[in-house]
């Protein structure tokens, strides 16, 4: 779903809209895809080429509660499941995203496919596609507005279906990765019946990368980055650094340019479960009005070869 809505003359007084990074209140503007702090553990939601690049069946469940104590702030649930097939060249999966903000909610369901090409003994290029649909609902009774006669704020949207089609490339080895993706090529107008107030999707370009350094037999270090490029919106860049201790505990920090700093922690529970948590502290002027952002992810991995989990986990 998207990070913000703006309406003619700024009628809707959700706090989240007041502090939006976009300044134009005279018309509706382009929507933004959801942000994730633990993007390094939720890669398939950003790039379909990641599908099936792990050693076996993997399932992710993520919950994000953004800007605590701000009424109508974004809330995201994300579930993904993917696995390589027997020949290991093809990966199949799907992911579901439920994104709520203010009076609106959007459910996105995508199937994911990837095909892997060996480029050398140690590196692989994966190419991926995702296709699915989004379902948008808006209930204005959940909001507060002043002009009771405004047609925009009295016409609910129920189960509006919109197609989704994306693609990506993911180049990786055992200790590094680099990816480029466009999660959705299809642009949709959300309020085309009101020409002076049309909200359109913009194409998002995602670039991700990371490298794992073996500092010792018990300590790994992984710097990573995630960049989002959207026409008409400021460049978004995340830089993170995580340490993996004894292949059990991961600790790190992340910085989102001109927005927030984050603390990350993760635990490898038994052989198959990983539990991760992050807390974002807002660095912009909006820090006065919220108590941060919480994000939790639970990952389950069922390995084709269970003995590999203890040898050298890829850390991404």
Residue pLDDT, tens place only, 229-261? 987 788 899 999 999 999 899 999 999 998 999
- Give me the pLDDT at residue 153, please: 55
Does residue 218 lie within any of the structural domains?
A: yes
Q: How far, in Å, CA of 315 to CA of 232, rounded?
A: 34
| Distant-in-sequence, close-in-space partners of 147: CB < 8 Å, separation ≥ 6 | 9, 11, 153
Number of domains in the chain: 1
Identify which of 117, 62, 104, 55 has the alpha carbon closest to the alpha carbon of residue 82.
Answer: 55
Does residue 12 lie within any of the structural domains?
A: yes
Does the pLDDT at position 186 exceed 50?
yes
Does residue 109 lie within any of the structural domains?
A: yes
Average pLDDT value for residue range 72-81: 94
Token pair belonging to 296:
């939790």
User: Comparing 76-85, 91-100, 144-153, which segment has the lowest mean pLDDT?
Assistant: 144-153
Band of residue 111 on the pLDDT scale cut at 50, 70, 90: very high
Q: Give me the chain's average pLDDT, please.
A: 82
Average pLDDT value for residue range 172-186: 94
Average pLDDT value for residue range 25-39: 62
Token pair belonging to 277:
């948590």
What is residue 232's DSSP assignment? T
Q: Which tens digits make up the pLDDT trace of 113-133?
A: 999 999 999 999 999 999 999
Q: How far, in Å, CA of 56 to CA of 91, rounded?
A: 10
Token pair belonging to 243:
């340490």
Beta-carbon-side half-sphere exposure of residue 227 (alpha carbons within 13 Å): 9
Identify which of 94, 110, 91 has the alpha carbon closest to the alpha carbon of residue 33.
Answer: 110
User: Comparing 27-36, 41-50, 184-193, 233-242, which segment has the lowest mean pLDDT?
Assistant: 27-36
Average pLDDT value for residue range 16-20: 37
Does residue 288 lie within any of the structural domains?
A: yes
User: Comparing 57-66, 162-171, 184-193, 209-218, which segment has the lowest mean pLDDT?
Assistant: 184-193
**Which domain CATH number covers 117?**
2.40.160.40
pTM: 0.83
Does residue 154 lie within any of the structural domains?
A: yes
Does residue 3 lie within any of the structural domains?
A: no
- Give me the pLDDT at residue 55, please: 84
Band of residue 299 on the pLDDT scale cut at 50, 70, 90: very high
Does the pLDDT at position 287 exceed 80?
yes
Does the pLDDT at position 82 exceed 90?
yes
- Give me the pLDDT at residue 223, please: 96
The residue ranking higher by pLDDT, 65 or 16, is 65
- Give me the pLDDT at residue 264, please: 97
Does the pLDDT at position 194 exceed 50?
no
Average pLDDT value for residue range 125-146: 84
Residue numbers of the domain that contains 168:
8-310
The answer to whether 79 touches 99, Cβ cutoff 8 Å, is no
- Give me the pLDDT at residue 147, please: 55
- Give me the pLDDT at residue 285, please: 86
Does residue 19 lie within any of the structural domains?
A: yes
Does residue 1 lie within any of the structural domains?
A: no
Band of residue 5 on the pLDDT scale cut at 50, 70, 90: very low
């Amino acid at each position: 779903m998207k990070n913000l809505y703006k309406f003619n003359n700024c009628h809707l007084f959700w706090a989240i809209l007041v502090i939006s990074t976009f300044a134009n209140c005279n018309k509706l503007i382009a929507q933004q895809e959801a942000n994730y702090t633990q993007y390094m553990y939720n890669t398939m939601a950003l790039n379909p080429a990641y599908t099936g690049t792990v050693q076996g069946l993997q399932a992710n469940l993520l919950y994000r509660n953004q800007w605590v104590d701000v009424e109508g702030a974004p809330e995201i649930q994300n579930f993904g499941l993917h696995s390589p097939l027997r020949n290991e060249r093809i990966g199949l999966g799907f992911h579901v995203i439920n994104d709520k903000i203010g009076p609106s909610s959007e459910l996105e369901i995508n199937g994911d496919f990837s095909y892997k090409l060996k480029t050398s003994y140690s590196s692989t290029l994966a190419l991926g596609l995702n296709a699915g649909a989004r379902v948008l609902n808006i209930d204005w009774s959940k909001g507060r507005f002043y002009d009771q006669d405004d047609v925009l704020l009295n016409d609910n949207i129920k189960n509006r279906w919109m197609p989704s089609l994306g693609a990506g490339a993911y180049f990786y080895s055992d200790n590094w990765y680099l990816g480029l993706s466009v999660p959705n090529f299809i642009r949709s107008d959300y309020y085309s019946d009101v020409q002076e107030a049309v909200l359109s999707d913009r194409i998002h370009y995602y670039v991700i990368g990371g490298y794992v350094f073996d500092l010792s037999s018990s300590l790994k270090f992984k710097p990573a980055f995630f960049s989002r490029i959207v026409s008409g919106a400021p460049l978004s860049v995340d830089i993170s650094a995580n340490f993996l201790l004894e292949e059990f505990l991961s600790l790190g920090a992340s910085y989102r340019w001109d927005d927030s700093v984050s603390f990350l922690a993760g635990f490898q529970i038994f052989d198959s479960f990983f539990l991760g948590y992050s807390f974002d502290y807002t660095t912009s002027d909006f820090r006065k009005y919220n108590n941060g952002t919480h994000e939790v992810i639970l990952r389950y991995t069922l390995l084709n070869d269970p003995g590999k989990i203890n040898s050298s986990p890829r850390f991404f």
